[in-house]
Copies of this chain bind each other. A is one copy, B any other.
Amino acid sequence: MTASPALPWFVEIAPERRCSIGLEIRRTLHRERSPYQEIVVHETSDHGRLLALDGCIMLTESDEFVYHEMLAHPALLSHPAPARVVIVGGGDGGTLREVARHAAVGAIVQVEIDERVTAVARAHFPALVTALDDPRARLVFADAVAWMRAAPAASADVVLVDSTDPVGPAAGLFAVEFLADCRRVLAPGGILALQSESPILYPELVRLVHARLVEAGFAGRALLPFSQPTYPSGTWSVSLATVEGTPVRRRHDPSLSTRYYTPEHHDALLTGLPRCYRALVTGPEA
């Protein structure tokens, strides 16, 4: 045991696995209760600013680039012409920032339930909100489950689900009905990417998400694990699901500036997952 530090710590416990992650806090910059959740911004000692929703770390400035790159770029570069993109959630602006880097994208709709998250991001996370006013982007503050239910069939090329954990406001975003609506809204050749939790802390949850993607009518799937040091376990994942065929990288954009994503890493994830992760997509091996 280490002696208790002088500054306060933000500690998030993963209740099902009885483990925790902590970050030392210099000061609290913002705290409010929106109609949907508690929104808190802390200044950490060594990880930049921290955004927490209902006590769970959403992002820190030090490592948000990994999550946002991995949610956006593999999906967009797996599509030959991703003109129409829908972002579900993503109120902090980080996913939109990465999507807006793609010249192939012509229209982006972001459907976030809690406009206070976006307002807090505008006030406290200048590096995240750089594309919120991109002329291609339209920000809709609404329940994405109802929005997707009402959206026209075949009206999007890529759907990115940037949700919180499958409890609270985001529970419906992991339901098969919502995933089937995403499938319906995607045009031929379409691709869905969703944040799919930790494959090493919650393997059964990842397995369930993939089973629901099959049930929702997607043809192919892939699991993309990545390092996320400020999420529980330090490994998180995005799952890809395709309307037709198997997820493959179809394009390379040499002008795309990234810190974690590379086309070679994208290919490596599709061909060479560790055994315990591959088993979550394909089922246990003989």
Contact = CB atoms under 8 A, between A and B. Distances in A.
A1 B269 contact: no
Given A19-B22, A22-B11, A55 B1 contact: yes
A227 interface: yes
A13 B10 CA distance: 13
Sort chain A's interface into a size bin: 35 or more
B11 A19 contact: no
A274 B226 contact: yes
- Copies per assembly: 2
A225 interface: yes
B261 A229 contact: no
Interface in A247-286: 258-262, 264-269, 271-276, 278
Contact of A264 (B24, B227, B271): B271
A2 B13 contact: yes
A264 to B, nearest CB: 4
A155 interface: no
Contact of A22 (B22, B225, B262, B267): B22
Interface of A: 1-2, 5, 9-13, 16-24, 44-47, 55, 63, 66, 198, 200-201, 225-231, 233-235, 258-262, 264-269, 271-276, 278
